[in-house]
Structure 1
């Protein structure tokens, strides 16, 4: 190794241009991989800071996840309650000085008919934490009384003795302010027994906070608490883990980050591997003569491959530190962006441990080492004299096996993209974007044969025309088909990636909108975002309107437990809540069963879900609701508008048997103004014609995918351009031979321009050819049309960018080389 290192270093200095392409590919790739790994690490290990219970030593709560074997647990979005009797039990545990049970529930004050944001409702004991705060006035002691925190009191202009309106427990009522508390978290504080009644959780609390006696180690106290709770399945947390028990949003946000990182990791790794290995192939190709000469003077094949690997590793080591550092910076910017989009809570911090850096460094050093050895494999195995002889020509064409594998991969990609034809669901769309990448990999393998055949066709056609520049360009493409295929497939990847990934987002979204529009039977939609939902008393007002049909339309999450190869698994489903009373207002497109049976413990399922789970009307299955409770439900109907309504529609009797707030309410049979008049006493209410088309908006997930696709497109273009510039810059010997054969400088410049144009046109043709079948399948399967939904300007726009990039990356460096040749 010590002997080979100076040789590799000397060669790197002489062939610096090729290694620049490797360095740029590794630099940007390291940034993307580190950022993705940082997001995944945050999802796995992040701990939220403790908020209201920062002074508590131990927090006890229910496990807010569904366990999976050999997989990440599924988070539950709603809190599972804890028995209130445990508060007294845990207060007697040795080492525990004080214990209190906390309740949190929706409660919104109203000022001049407008909802005012607050920290929700709590029992008065939660404000003590555990010491009684400074209060101007008195603590609440009876129904109709409450204490405000100072910030909320300031916003309302309230003082002790004032009466304020509150929407709580689904009702609008007037409460007397008995005091203003300082140094307490924002919220409305009621007497404990009143808070229990308002929350509707008699005998239950959200969590239990414990304070250790002075001098007792919190860890020791927590161990005694765990012993006291053995067999209950409750979570006992200390230190940083307390934030997870206190905040449900953190658990949900972590789960989402893991899912996002997982969905992006495969695509990013495939593209990064493609670009880095492509750059290594160009770099090694530029040194074939040097490597062959080293082989000729006695180097073994392994030493030749090691020299190539050392060069690539040196380039990678130079750029990995800045790339990894920039990756951490990008991960933090991504976290801030997720917070602005409402995807994760602001309290969820980025974990900046060393693992992403280690993973990125190991991954890229392995990819570069293996890629460089693979690129030098052929020249290292040749006999020395043959290796030197072939350095002035392109290596022999790839064999039929490689070409066959390439076309087989393209065929496999088309099969992957055809799933929407048999399953009209979001799961079916997942393969569309990946199919594009698999197809491009297939094109990479089959590319030399395709380029050679196309070049022979062009040369035959141009030989009959007075176009020497075109004929020269076609002959060059035929003679150097591998080089041309490398440029063409890289540019084609940019076209395919941009089109398939974008349309894979916009087409399902259009399908969602179509399903919602087709299901609308003329209902009005009522929402009250300022109150956190439509209160129960608003439903009573609406049901009192003569001729009105009223139905709840909400959303929740359910988990389907199952076994896979003997291991416990669980799948989470975003679920619409809709009952039999919506039958005259919503048409789910039933194919079996009846919506009138969607009452009690019943569900409706999509056709795809029915097929995969083997469920028909009348069958039963077990579900885990958002708060962790398990229910056995009966299938009432099967529907086909699954893009608009997901895989499961849940009866309100199952989802919210005693809820006081609902996302939205559907009203039919009466005029819009009649509904507005009936809801005049509900603050912050909104009435809209048609169903609440939340899905018609661009979701945070879509924004993320658009940004990622844009970034990857830029990375692909930059990597391909760098490789194309490096490959073109080493064509001096080729241009010398053409000049010696009699080609004029003008003919050579025209030939170069023609090559650059053909690279771009060929890439656009290949990219569109690989993208068209997946888009056709998307359109037919999801929209019933051969035309997929998406921005019409994207295909021509991407092709224009690729044409310009391919042309300039060929013409500009070739022009510099040509000037040097003509100067000689």
Structure 2
């Protein structure tokens, strides 16, 4: 059996090479995520819970999406590599091989490729993870002297995840051919059946309904967590499309087939008939490309929705005439100096003090880094939109106001307590108010008395200023500038403060690029394998009079149709997620990052054309040479 498996790998080294590259890239990105998670845990245990908590949260939120993507891409690549060998499996059955022997041979083949490529990719990802260190430092998530922690554990986990994904998929891919009679398998290897089993139809329906329901989970899960949950619906809908792909893609191509004859161009007619007859094969190409569109669009659109929601809430919360932000090196008594400026009727200093909030995950106590917004309880310059209690009560020590998002996550409503770590003290702070504008203001608001009672310095990072009637705004701004601070109107302050998080988004963009790299490599591999596997078909077309130029034109049209279909499927999958995420955050219509969507959609089509052209050029050359 080992000899049969090893000879199979050697005979199909081209297909397995593409599969190996996909597995290596996927394991590398998984290892990077593992390094982030382990580094966060070590920072937490080493006395830096704030940075450690940020890294653990980042790795945890990214890992869920990454695992879904890796499973889909690896499954599509491995299944396509095996689908092109159905004739070989049928011949093995015809010469006496049992179904169990065929399955064992395939399991050994996929296992060998996985256990060779996955460790290599994981080790590269382990050391490559340190390339993210400068990005993490620039985003101020970690200290300037941060260095990622490296250990064999992320490599082992990555290899295990790849193995438990690829090997079962390989067995499933061989199962159908092994169970089918040899003569029937030979026939099916030439003509594809677009029908799918009842189980796949049911699972696809469940994923579709679950994806739509999850898209609108932001209506009962508030804030960023609801938006993140809603964004996962796009992946569920792409998964449903993968399961029902032969039927879905076949239906789309059937519609195109009605247009093909009207074009009158031989290449277009051949291309439309080919995509119609091989919808199952092309599904493995459409799904990864659709995943690119869905993943990129939902990530950038949800980020834009969060920024827009933050701007809306912060603008509505601040009613002051001017917002003063101190420059570096400003004196701690800046609020008093600003209050003494002629024309300043009232000033409200705002500060942010570090804290940790206690949580519990499956019985394990955790401490998550957060910040307390320190606000005088009697101010009217900042309105967080209190819906329960009163903000005046935060002047008492050990009291807090919480946003509706925080109240939902912490399970602490009005009159209940939330456990905080303030400096060296663990405090059971009483919730005296609940407000709605947590995204723009903060998750927790407290008064100066609580911070000072536990030895936390309260240094104003923002001062809200109301002007006296008739005061000259320009003169007041100039006086404040002389103090070493900047005074702007609310709109300018909101725009500047919300966009200043762009360095933080740099980390998310870097991880998104890694995610898209996995999908892009998988898509390139499937496109190349699909085209190379058609050498006999192209040779037959050439024998019947089709020129090499017509063959290239035919594959180009097929690639264009495939790319456009993928863009449409990805768009349909991402629409509910974008609508649902925006509904839970914004006061207005949904937000879509149209530039990113347009670029990615166009890139998918171009990618399909280029990858197919490169593979088709060599394949048609070989096919026509064989005929000659």
Flag whether TM exceeds 0.5 (same fold).
Answer: yes
- Cα deviation 1:296-331 (Å, max 9, x = unaligned): 222222221222222223333443454233212211
Q: Which residue does the alignment assign to 2:579?
A: 776
Q: Which residue does the alignment assign to 2:602?
A: 800
**2:62 is equivalent to residue 43 of structure 1:** no
Shift of the alpha carbon at 1:36? 1.6
Pairing 1:401-416 to 2, within 5 Å after superposition: 401-416=199-214
Taking a change above 3 Å as real, the CA distance of residues 356 and 430 of structure 1, as seen in their structure-2 partners, is same
Alignment gaps of 5+ in structure 2: none
Pairing 1:178-577 to 2, within 5 Å after superposition: 244=46, 248=47, 250-395=48-193, 397-463=195-261, 466-531=264-329, 535=332, 537-543=333-339, 548-561=345-358, 573-577=370-374
RMSD after superposition: 3.0
* Higher percent of residues as strand: 1
Q: Is the 8 A contact 1:534 1:685 kept in 2?
A: no
Q: Which residue does the alignment assign to 1:606?
A: 403
**2:34 is equivalent to residue 33 of structure 1:** no
Shift of the alpha carbon at 1:635? 4.1
Q: Is the 8 A contact 1:432 1:500 kept in 2?
A: no
Q: Is the 8 A contact 2:352 2:458 kept in 1?
A: no
Q: Distance in 1 between matches of 2:359 and 2:24?
A: 43
Q: Which residue does the alignment assign to 2:375?
A: 578
Name the larger-Rg structure: 1
Q: Is the 8 A contact 1:18 1:723 kept in 2?
A: no
Q: Distance in 1 between matches of 2:382 and 2:189?
A: 71
Pairing 1:584-595 to 2, within 5 Å after superposition: 585-595=381-391
Q: Distance in 2 between matches of 1:732 and 1:660?
A: 73
Q: Is the 8 A contact 2:347 2:464 kept in 1?
A: yes
Q: Which has the higher mean CA deviation after the structures are superposed, 797-806 or 364-373? A: 364-373
Q: What TM-score do the two structures reach when normalised by structure 1?
A: 0.69
Q: Distance in 2 between matches of 1:256 and 1:451?
A: 42
3-state DSSP of counterpart to 1:550:
strand
Q: Which residue does the alignment assign to 1:755?
A: 558
Taking a change above 3 Å as real, the CA distance of residues 389 and 611 of structure 1, as seen in their structure-2 partners, is closer
Shift of the alpha carbon at 1:667? 2.8
- Cα deviation 1:157-203 (Å, max 9, x = unaligned): xxxxxxxxxxxxxxxxxxxxxxxxxxxxxxxxxxxxxxxxxxxxxxx
Q: Which residue does the alignment assign to 1:814?
A: 616
Q: Distance in 2 between matches of 1:808 and 1:675?
A: 57
Q: Distance in 1 between matches of 2:253 and 2:40?
A: 50
3-state DSSP of counterpart to 1:376:
helix
Taking a change above 3 Å as real, the CA distance of residues 816 and 712 of structure 1, as seen in their structure-2 partners, is same
Q: How many residues align?
A: 615
Q: Which residue does the alignment assign to 1:133?
A: none
- Cα deviation 1:700-756 (Å, max 9, x = unaligned): 442211111122213212211111111111112333454566766665444322211
- Cα deviation 1:604-650 (Å, max 9, x = unaligned): 33234456777665x24243143253445444443322220233222
- Cα deviation 1:60-97 (Å, max 9, x = unaligned): xxxxxxxxxxxxxxx6xxxxxxxxxxxxxxxxxxxxxx
Taking a change above 3 Å as real, the CA distance of residues 476 and 271 of structure 1, as seen in their structure-2 partners, is same
Q: Distance in 2 between matches of 1:577 and 1:534?
A: 18
Q: Which residue does the alignment assign to 1:653?
A: 449
Q: Is the 8 A contact 1:424 1:642 kept in 2?
A: no
Q: Distance in 2 between matches of 1:27 and 1:613?
A: 40
Q: Distance in 2 between matches of 1:562 and 1:336?
A: 30
Shift of the alpha carbon at 1:564? 7.1
Q: Is the 8 A contact 1:22 1:312 kept in 2?
A: no
Q: Distance in 1 between matches of 2:563 and 2:139?
A: 37
Q: Distance in 1 between matches of 2:556 and 2:341?
A: 75
3-state DSSP of counterpart to 2:258:
helix
Taking a change above 3 Å as real, the CA distance of residues 258 and 566 of structure 1, as seen in their structure-2 partners, is closer
Taking a change above 3 Å as real, the CA distance of residues 814 and 582 of structure 1, as seen in their structure-2 partners, is same
Taking a change above 3 Å as real, the CA distance of residues 801 and 611 of structure 1, as seen in their structure-2 partners, is closer
- Cα deviation 1:396-442 (Å, max 9, x = unaligned): 62124313322331231222221334455111111133222222111
Q: Is the 8 A contact 2:139 2:507 kept in 1?
A: no
Q: Which has the higher mean CA deviation after the structures are superposed, 292-301 or 309-318? A: 309-318
Taking a change above 3 Å as real, the CA distance of residues 445 and 334 of structure 1, as seen in their structure-2 partners, is same
- Cα deviation 1:657-684 (Å, max 9, x = unaligned): 463533333332356645764896x6x5
Shift of the alpha carbon at 1:349? 3.4
Q: Which residue does the alignment assign to 2:19?
A: 22
Q: Distance in 2 between matches of 1:419 and 1:330?
A: 36
Taking a change above 3 Å as real, the CA distance of residues 334 and 563 of structure 1, as seen in their structure-2 partners, is closer
Q: Distance in 1 between matches of 2:5 and 2:362?
A: 51
Q: Which residue does the alignment assign to 1:764?
A: 567
Shift of the alpha carbon at 1:271? 1.6
Pairing 1:640-679 to 2, within 5 Å after superposition: 640-657=436-453, 659=457, 661-670=459-468, 673-674=475-476, 677=479
3-state DSSP of counterpart to 1:437:
helix
**2:497 is equivalent to residue 694 of structure 1:** yes
Q: Distance in 2 between matches of 1:518 and 1:726?
A: 55
* Higher percent of residues as helix: 2
Q: What TM-score do the two structures reach when normalised by structure 2?
A: 0.89
Pairing 1:8-19 to 2, within 5 Å after superposition: 8-19=5-16
Q: Distance in 2 between matches of 1:280 and 1:746?
A: 31
3-state DSSP of counterpart to 2:516:
helix
Q: Which residue does the alignment assign to 1:731?
A: 534
- Cα deviation 1:383-406 (Å, max 9, x = unaligned): 334333433232562124313322
3-state DSSP of counterpart to 2:440:
helix
Taking a change above 3 Å as real, the CA distance of residues 567 and 780 of structure 1, as seen in their structure-2 partners, is closer
Q: Distance in 2 between matches of 1:423 and 1:390?
A: 48
Q: Distance in 2 between matches of 1:28 and 1:565?
A: 33
Q: Which has the higher mean CA deviation after the structures are superposed, 638-647 or 684-693? A: 684-693
Q: Distance in 1 between matches of 2:432 and 2:153?
A: 49
Shift of the alpha carbon at 1:264? 1.6
Shift of the alpha carbon at 1:475? 2.8
Shift of the alpha carbon at 1:450? 0.5
